[in-house]
Amino acid sequence: MDTDLHAIIYVSSLTEVIDVELAQQSILKNREYNQRNNITALVVFAHGNILAMMEGPKELIYAKYKENMSGHHHGFLKLYDKPIPNRYFKNYPLAVKVLGMAKWRSLDDFQEPAHVDIFQQCLVLDVPPMKVLKDFVKNNV
């Protein structure tokens, strides 16, 4: 296990409804940042609630977490903050899943059948980070 590989999972709520274009710009900006900084991530948008999971070097994801706290959301609650044995979203600098927000459906990276399978496989993994994800999805569909 790479002891420097760490994950933070947190939930928050949007402070205001933002349009799809602004959300897309933010996603692209964050993907570029994550790619440059060896961070992989998943963000789930569900009815104004957000679950974010970041994986990577501890000091980098802590810095990104702190930066995210000053964005378009509030009510941060950290659910997971521990080393992980491997990346669960290794091919995604920032993967996006949208639940129940029809106007944002175009932002969802898990619409193609192969990608739907990837997301579903994560939900059945019996490891603490994926249990947190599964609980959030179950409570927000």
C-alpha angle with apex 84: 60 to 33, nearest 5 degrees?
Answer: 30
Task: For residue 7, give Cα distances in angstroms to 18, 80, 104.
Answer: 27, 7, 26
Going by pLDDT thresholds of 50, 70 and 90, the confidence category of residue 23 is: confident
Report pLDDT digits (tens) over 100-136: 888 889 999 999 888 888 899 999 999 999 999 999 9
Q: Give the pLDDT confidence score for residue 1 in this predicted structure.
A: 43
Q: Give the pLDDT confidence score for residue 72 in this predicted structure.
A: 66
CA distance 28 to 78: 24
Report pLDDT digits (tens) over 65-94: 988 877 667 788 999 999 999 999 998 999
Q: Which CATH architecture has domain 5-139?
A: 2-Layer Sandwich (3.30)
The listed range with the strongest mean pLDDT (2-11, 17-26, 42-51) is 42-51
C-alpha angle with apex 48: 47 to 50, nearest 5 degrees?
Answer: 105
